[in-house]
Amino acid sequence: DGAVLIVGAGQAGTMTAEALRSSGFAGPITLLGDEPHGPYHRPPLSKAWLAGEVGDAQLMLRAPEMLARKTITLRTGVRVAAIDREARQLQLVDGERLPYAGLVLATGATPRRLPLAGGDASNVLPLRSKDDASAIAALLARCAGQDLPLVVIGGGFIGLEVAATARKKGLAVTVLEAAPRLLGRVLSPELSAWYAALHRSHGVQLVLDARIERLDTADGLACAVVMADGTRHACGGVVLGVGVSANDGLAAAAGLACDRGIVVDACGRTADPRIVAAGDCTARRLDDGSLLRLESVQNATEQAKSAAAALLGQDRPFTATPWFWSDQYDRKLQMAGLSAGADAWAVRGDMAGGGSFSVYHYRAGRLIAVDSVNAAKDHLQARKLLDAGVTPTPAQAADTAFDLGSLLA
Ligand code: FAD
């Protein structure tokens, strides 16, 4: 029942603290977070919160009083500088040392910057934290007020969600994506093309295969993004959505294995029996030896439960089907499974029109993932099919008259 310290008061850290308590752990638990805020939901930062549709209250993940009721101590504004594994202590940046019996690393990830001239101008903004989102909200307001376009660099989920939100606010928006298609790492080519068409139909100027040379600045502010072919995209500011790096520096400095993330097993364990890790900071070793990095609320939540169990000496591997969502305009994408490596697809529903549909991804004849757009029922059913290892034939998947649920009976 010695003290458990949790580094990072985000999704994974908070969920680990709660899982420890709900599993009957009675010792002291302290959540250490370097942000000034208590735990909050990140997904709305590029969606409903940025659009002004929900306020700060709805961002809150757990109120400090709720944590206090569970005797979970929350310390905000404290940054952990080092782990002393031999002494079993954490060192904070101000020199304070805190002893632990169990340690949870839930440090999340840091958005990448652009190593380009002008890339560090003060109106070139990444999006990870609530403070980042506040700065972007102010940037959108300034662009709208001065009738200046917004440039989004990166056609991944965060970039595209910000683009959709900015269009909703009436801004002119250009999205620059270096790859030949949007969301290329996670979507099938057809769905990438569908998203490109969706954004163009909402007036986004979309540039694929974008080669950016530099950002021009005036008075310290980026005023144009200049392409290798000389094209200039004038702008009032830039939002960066070019991916993240796992925050594994503390773990690496303490001698724990890291490979673009803190290497953990399916139960969130590191090689040190007193240290577990969960969430975006991890890279999970799979049975075939490969490493899986996921950045999602589900992954953080499930790994948190596994990590809490591991600290209590129990095995609770996280093996459930991964799922994710993204809101852009009036379309909700819900993804179940991982579609990388798919070699065949079937479409159920109305992909060409404005309705709802799902894309079923197959590899070597097996269903591996389902991406649903405005089709919540398909999504929930897909998770059940994937969890159960049940594969409908592509013909069954494509036939809306066929009840896929009957395969689960
Ligand atoms: P975080 O929530 O990032 O928490 C880590 C915390 O640790 C941070 O507060 C960090 O500041 C702190 N920290 C780091 N180092 C230290 C240190 N040394 N000392 C003290 N504290 C430290 N996922 C979905 O599933 N669906 C979505 O639609 C979705 N949308 C998203 C939209 C945005 C804009 C963003 C940014 C993310 C989105 N995600 C979404 C991803 C999801 O939010 C993350 O996967 C999730 O927050 C990961 O939780 P975490 O606890 O691992 O990391």
pLDDT digits (tens, 9 = 90+) for 278-321: 999 999 999 999 999 999 999 999 999 999 999 999 999 998 99
Name the residue of 30, 47, 248, 280 to mutate for ligand 1: max ligand atoms within 8 A of Cβ: 280
What are 209-226's pLDDT values in tens digits? 999 999 999 999 999 999
Same domain, 137 and 93: no
pLDDT over 90, % of the chain: 97
Please report, in angstroms and rounded to a whole number, the separation of the first and last CA atoms in the chain.
45
Same domain, 257 and 235: no
Decide: 43 in ligand 1 pocket, CB within 6 A. yes
Whether residue 318 is contained in a domain is answered as: no
- Reply yes or no on whether the pLDDT at 409 is more than 90: no
pTM for the structure as a whole: 0.97
Residue-number span of the structural domain to which 151 is assigned? 124-240
What are 82-114's pLDDT values in tens digits? 999 999 999 999 999 999 999 999 999 999 998
Whether residue 324 is contained in a domain is answered as: no
- Reply yes or no on whether the pLDDT at 354 is more than 80: no
Decide: 402 in ligand 1 pocket, CB within 6 A. no
- Ligand 1: atom nearest CA of 46 is 34
Give the number of other Cβ atoms within 10 Å of residue 408's Cβ: 12
Of 253, 248, 243, the C-alpha closest to 278 is 248
Q: What is the mean pLDDT of residues 2-9?
A: 97
Beta carbons of 141 and 50 less than 8 angstroms apart: no
Decide: 294 in ligand 1 pocket, CB within 6 A. no
Same domain, 218 and 299: no
Decide: 240 in ligand 1 pocket, CB within 6 A. no
Decide: 324 in ligand 1 pocket, CB within 6 A. yes
Decide: 106 in ligand 1 pocket, CB within 6 A. yes
Q: Whose CA is nearest to atom 38 of ligand 1?
A: 43
Same domain, 211 and 128: yes
Burial of 255: CB neighbours in 10 Å, binned 0-12, 13-18, 19+: exposed
User: Which residues, in sequence order, are bridge partners of residue 284?
Assistant: 264, 292
Q: What is the mean pLDDT of residues 275-279?
A: 98
Name the residue of 297, 298, 326, 331 to mutate for ligand 1: max ligand atoms within 8 A of Cβ: 297
Residue 329 has a pLDDT of 96
Same domain, 50 and 146: no
Q: What are phi and psi of 117, to 5 degrees?
A: -60, 130
Whether residue 319 is contained in a domain is answered as: no
Q: What is the mean pLDDT of residues 175-190?
A: 94
Q: Whose CA is nearest to atom 33 of ligand 1?
A: 43
User: Which residues, in sequence order, are bridge partners of residue 269?
Assistant: 276
Q: What are phi and psi of 59, to 5 degrees?
A: -80, -25
Q: What is the mean pLDDT of residues 119-147?
A: 97
Same domain, 130 and 33: no
Whether residue 323 is contained in a domain is answered as: no
Same domain, 304 and 198: no
Decide: 14 in ligand 1 pocket, CB within 6 A. no
Decide: 251 in ligand 1 pocket, CB within 6 A. no
Query: DSSP string spanning 8-71?
Result: --SHHHHHHHHHHHHTT--S-EEEE-SSSS-SB-SGGGGTTTTTTSS-HHHHBSS-HHHHHHTT
What are 328-345's pLDDT values in tens digits? 999 999 999 999 999 999
Average pLDDT, the chain: 97
Residue 198 has a pLDDT of 97
Same domain, 235 and 267: no
User: What is the tally of structural domains in the chain?
Assistant: 3
Euclidean distance between CA atoms 301 and 42, whole angstroms: 13
Euclidean distance between CA atoms 94 and 282, whole angstroms: 26
Burial of 192: CB neighbours in 10 Å, binned 0-12, 13-18, 19+: buried
Q: Residue 272 belongs to a domain with what CATH number?
A: 3.50.50.60
CA 183 to mean position of chain CA atoms: 13
